[in-house]
């Protein structure tokens, strides 16, 4: 089995020009790893991330246009990899409701294509896959108490610990189904084919290089809306609670999981900021208003399909397995996000991207 120190090949990051990918690729490259980024550039802003990575780290990072839905196209990249991080995905519940088939092809079939390429590798590389808390559904069976600014679990022990991996799976929305199917395939390939694959079921992640919008990256979307004074739609009553994890802390967890993939193989971990880093939507808006000096114009709509009134990650399982724990407090991380967005929001993000190259003629861009 291939080692996870990069000595036998590069690290492959699918969706690597996205928010999480950019932060991980930077960390890996700065630590001396060679990284190949594969991205289909379907999300606004990722071209800018790709240019930032290759201009900052030209000797370590190569970026290529590719799509995990193309099984034949993904295979050559996996063959050269010592480790794989699979982030490429359709990320919005709303988009999955509009086009469930396209959502399935990217999230479920795309993940199966990556797994099959790894399975056929003579020395299978490790895989860390980013799943979602949406695999647990809307959690309607968790009794909640409605407070002035947030929902809280009626059970005090649940409020102290958060939602654990023993929570029953209950896929909700096509997005929940496609990511949930991918989640289960990754776990089963560890069981059935002895692949060193690990699943992260993630909560709210935020930080630099996040191209936040209404459907995904809500904290960045809230901050940008306040800075630009653009209308912000609040779905539901705004008391929904999430735990927020700063992206640097997530990168720490991803690196730890990849390094220990053989011993963690076949396990799913809930990853987020945990009970000490929670916020409701209205509480987040209040913090942002205090930092920016004003709220964005607010509009109200009914809550969306599959929305969880309360989701906070119990991260103790991963903490016990690796010693990892979040370091950045939510208040501090939000200030860092605001600072980054202030510095970057007015810069042109529509850079030209030179892509469409195959593994045979791979060069930096």
| β pairing state of 151-153 and 144-146 | antiparallel
Segments making up each domain of the chain, as ranges: 10-361
H or E stretch including 39? strand 35-39
Which whole-number Å values give the CA distances from 313 to 165, 216, 241, 317, 321, in the listed order?
Answer: 9, 18, 11, 10, 16
Exactly one of 10, 136, 151, 175 is catalytic; which is it?
Answer: 175
H or E stretch including 204? strand 204-206
Q: Which CATH number fits domain 10-361: 3.30.1330.20, 1.20.120.350, 3.40.50.720, 3.10.129.10?
A: 3.40.50.720
Q: Tens-of-pLDDT digits for all 365 residues of the chain? A: 233 344 469 999 999 999 999 999 999 999 999 999 999 999 888 999 999 999 999 999 999 999 999 999 999 999 999 999 999 999 988 899 999 999 999 999 999 999 999 999 999 999 999 999 999 999 999 999 999 999 999 999 999 999 999 999 999 999 999 999 999 999 999 999 999 999 999 999 999 999 777 777 999 999 999 999 999 999 999 999 999 999 999 999 999 999 999 999 999 999 999 999 999 999 999 999 999 999 999 999 999 877 999 999 999 999 999 999 999 999 999 999 999 999 987 443 333 333 333 333 332 22
What gap in Å lies between CA 36 and CA 41, rounded to an integer? 15
Q: Is 120 exposed, middle or buried (0-12, 13-18, 19+ CB in 10 A)?
A: exposed
Q: 145-181 in b/e burial notation, b at 16+ Cβ within 10 A? A: eeeeebbbbeeeebbebbbebebeebbbbbbbbbbbb
What gap in Å lies between CA 314 and CA 142, rounded to an integer? 15
Tell me whether residue 136 is one of the annotated catalytic residues.
no
What gap in Å lies between CA 250 and CA 245, rounded to an integer? 7
Residue 62 near residue 38, CB atoms below 8 Å: no
- Helix (H/G/I), strand (E/B), else coil: 277: helix
Residues 6+ apart with CB under 8 A from 156: none
| β pairing state of 144-146 and 61-65 | unpaired
SS3 content of the chain, % helix, strand, coil (to 5): 45, 20, 40
H or E stretch including 86? strand 81-86
H or E stretch including 98? helix 93-98
């Amino acid at each position: 089995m291939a080692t996870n120190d990069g000595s036998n090949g590069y690290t492959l990051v699918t969706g690597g020009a996205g928010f999480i990918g950019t932060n991980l690729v930077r960390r890996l490259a700065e630590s001396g790893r060679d990284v190949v980024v594969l991205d289909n550039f379907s999300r606004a802003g990722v071209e800018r991330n790709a240019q930032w990575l290759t201009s900052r780290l030209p000797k370590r990072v190569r970026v290529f246009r590719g799509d995990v839905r193309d099984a034949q196209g993904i295979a050559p990249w996996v063959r050269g990899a010592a480790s794989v991080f699979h982030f490429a995905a359709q990320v919005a519940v709303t988009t999955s409701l509009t086009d469930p088939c396209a959502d399935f092809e990217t999230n479920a079939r795309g993940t199966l294509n990556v797994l099959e390429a790894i399975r056929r590798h003579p020395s299978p590389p490790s895989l860390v896959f980013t799943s979602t808390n949406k695999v647990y559904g809307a959690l309607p069976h968790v009794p909640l108490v409605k407070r002035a600014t947030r929902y809280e679990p009626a059970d005090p022990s649940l409020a102290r610990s958060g939602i654990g991996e023993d929570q029953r799976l209950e896929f909700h929305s096509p997005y929940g189904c496609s990511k949930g199917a991918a989640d289960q395939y990754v776990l089963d390939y560890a069981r059935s084919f002895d692949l060193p694959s690990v699943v992260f079921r993630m909560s709210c992640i935020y930080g630099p290089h996040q191209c936040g919008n209404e459907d995904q990256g809500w904290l960045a979307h809230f901050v940008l809306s306040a800075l630009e004074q653009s209308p912000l739609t609040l779905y539901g009553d705004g008391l929904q609670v999430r735990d927020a994890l700063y992206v640097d802390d997530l990168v720490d967890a991803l690196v730890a999981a990849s390094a220990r993939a053989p011993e963690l193989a076949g396990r799913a971990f809930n990853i987020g900021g945990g009970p000490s880093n929670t916020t409701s939507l209205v509480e987040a808006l209040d913090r942002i208003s205090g930092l920016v000096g004003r709220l964005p114009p607010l509009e109200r709509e009914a809550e969306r399909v599959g929305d969880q009134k309360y989701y906070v990650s119990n991260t103790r399982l991963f903490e016990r397995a690796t010693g990892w724990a979040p370091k950045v407090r939510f208040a501090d991380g939000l200030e860092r996000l605001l600072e980054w967005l202030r510095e970057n929001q007015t810069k042109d993000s529509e850079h030209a991207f030179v892509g469409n190259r195959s593994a045979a003629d791979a060069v930096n861009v």
